[in-house]
Amino acid sequence: MTNQKVFANTGKWNQKQRKEWARRLKADDAGLEVVHRDAAGIDVGNEMHYVAVPPDRDANAVQSFGCFTEDLRRMAQWLKQCGIRTVAMQSTGVYWIPVYDMLEAEGLEVYLVNARHTKNLPGRKSDVQESQWLMKLHTYGLLNNSYRPPSQVLVLRAYWRQRAEHVQGAAQSIQRMQKVLTEMNLQLANVISDISGVTGQAIIRAILAGERDPHELAKLRDFRIKASPEQIAKSLEGNWRRELLFLLGQHVEMLDAYQRRIAECDRELEAELKNWAARESGQQNPAAETVAGVERKEPESKARGRKNKKKSTANAPRFDLGSELQRINGVDLTKIDGIHVMAAQTVLSEVGYDLSRWKTEAHFVSWLGLCPNNEISGGRVLKRRTRHVVHPLATALRLAAWGLFRSQSYLGAQYRRLRTRLGAPKAITAMAAKLARLIYRMLKFGEEYVDKGMQYYEQKYRAQQIQFVQKKAAQLGLQVVEYKATA
């Protein structure tokens, strides 16, 4: 059994086994194979970083360094003087990022490890002991390195995450505007679908400009609004309290500020995407027909019309993001039902298009926390729950899976079947895992996704059920005869 497997199984050991293994690790000869001989451990903090090296490398094997750039340079130089080649540290907040960048720039191999993987054993209450513990675990190869995207992906991710925060802030401003309107008893949200649209914003800004006549305000109605001018005028009869008008004006200014910030992020995002080289489409995988399906193709005009209707989102960037993503990825991820340009951009900004870091699609799904984490004891499965993973890509895939409820496609039919049998939460997670597998296959093998259609899924499911009934009947010594209804 490898060292990684031994460490992973410590959660299933009893107290006696845990104490014995802890004693062996603390001993000079732990009885484990040394994987990283030139290893060090760093306990990352806000003001101080504690670094531990093997005792034979320096008389003072544990030293502390400040958080300033000069201190980080001294840390890197001291590690190189001690002959250290690889360093392990925990992902503590954002304090690890400057340390990681500095050590990587100095040519050291940095292992960014999950703090949960180092806390299975008791003890190590001080910073010095924590750094020594990390060094010992890393020496014996008991820590797994976390995924750190390439620098180009990190730049894209910074812009995209910042843009997402501005979009969320704009949504909160709209909600606060609606709250103030309700306090003023202006029931505008009950007659139009969105107060952030053309009609809603025109009316709200006219109110802030001093207009109080409901009929004059109703004349600002867009021709696409289904509500009549009389209904809109009726909803605009309320009170005009001064403090509420002040709050409404501030929320409108905040909305305008967020929209300007979003536009700035879009410009930076567009410029960054243009710096990415186009990726050549990969060779079609022989197993692609069983992966994505080529049974049914819609006419080009019909498919394009449905795609445009399905993929459009209100918060999407104003430039042609879909074309840029297809050029960079080499495949069009938006052909997958439920995946729109926003979700496709999240994929690129979180993991890029090179998924070779994950050996198989199962590893990729597990990394996202979308597969069951079986807890087995005594040969019995105690729990099958998924791991608690907070990741923007996993969240985007769950939202995409939730949007398949009314999709007239193969994936939509599969989601509705799972929702009926498992319930909505488990079905969403299962379909998010399905979408992750499709994305992995498309990006790694250059496959093109073609929808087989809802009818194909229903026929396939019916054949599976018939086969199951026939097998069960044969076990009971019976025979299934197909019933043909007479006219």
Give tens-digit pLDDT for 62-104. Answer: 999 999 999 999 999 999 999 999 999 988 888 999 999 999 9
Residue 485 covered by a domain: no
DSSP assigned state of 181: H
State whether 165 and 22 are in the same domain: no
Q: Domain limits at 443? A: 288-304+323-461
Overall average pLDDT of the 171-187 stretch: 94
Q: How far apart are the first and last CA of the chain?
A: 67
Contacts 24+ apart (CB under 8 A), 228-235: 231/191, 232/188, 232/191, 232/192, 232/199, 232/203, 235/186, 235/187, 235/188, 235/190, 235/191
State whether 131 and 182 are in the same domain: no
State whether 183 and 103 are in the same domain: no
State whether 187 and 292 are in the same domain: no
- C-alpha–C-alpha distance, residues 3 and 138, integer Å: 11
Q: Are strands 39-43 and 86-90 parallel, antiparallel or unpaired?
A: parallel
Contact 249, 208 (CB under 8 A): yes
Contact 135, 52 (CB under 8 A): yes
- Phi/psi at 68 (nearest 5 deg)? -75, 160
State whether 197 and 344 are in the same domain: no
State whether 31 and 125 are in the same domain: yes
Tokens of 76: 């890197």
Give the DSSP H/E element, type plus range, for residue 347: helix 341-351
For the chain, state the CA radius of gyration.
29
Give CA 405 to chain center in angstroms. Answer: 20
Instruction: Answer whether residue 33 shows pLDDT above 50.
Output: yes
Contact 123, 137 (CB under 8 A): no
- C-alpha–C-alpha distance, residues 37 and 74, integer Å: 22
State whether 243 and 176 are in the same domain: yes
Lowest mean pLDDT among 25-34, 172-181, 424-433: 25-34
Q: What is the value of pTM for the model shown? A: 0.80
Closest of 431, 419, 426 to residue 337, by C-alpha = 431
Residue 478 covered by a domain: no
Residue 330 covered by a domain: yes
Residue 451: pLDDT band (50, 70, 90) is: confident
State whether 242 and 127 are in the same domain: no
State whether 33 and 111 are in the same domain: yes
Contact 99, 77 (CB under 8 A): no
- C-alpha–C-alpha distance, residues 328 and 278, integer Å: 5
Give the DSSP H/E element, type plus range, for residue 445: helix 424-445
State whether 299 and 255 are in the same domain: no
State whether 119 and 187 are in the same domain: no
State whether 394 and 433 are in the same domain: yes
Instruction: Answer whether residue 120 shows pLDDT above 50.
Output: yes
Give, in order, the Cα–Cα distances in Å from 28 to each of 25, 32, 47, 120.
8, 11, 32, 20
- C-alpha–C-alpha distance, residues 136 and 123, integer Å: 14
Residue 164 covered by a domain: yes
Give tens-digit pLDDT for 261-305.
Answer: 999 999 999 999 999 988 765 444 444 433 444 333 443 434 444
Residues with Cβ within 8 Å of 382's Cβ and at least 6 positions away in sequence, in order, are 375, 376
pLDDT averaged over every residue in the chain: 85
User: Looking at residue 470, what is its pLDDT?
Assistant: 86
Overall average pLDDT of the 193-211 stretch: 92
User: Looking at residue 28, what is its pLDDT?
Assistant: 53
Contacts 24+ apart (CB under 8 A), 273-280: 273/156, 273/321, 273/324, 273/325, 273/328, 274/324, 275/152, 276/152, 276/328, 277/328, 278/327, 278/328, 278/330, 279/327, 279/328, 279/329, 279/330, 279/353, 280/330
- C-alpha–C-alpha distance, residues 38 and 327, integer Å: 43
Residue count (the chain): 487
Q: Number of structural domains, the chain?
A: 3
Instruction: Answer whether residue 238 shows pLDDT above 70.
Output: yes
**Beta carbons within 10 angstroms of residue 61's beta carbon:** 18
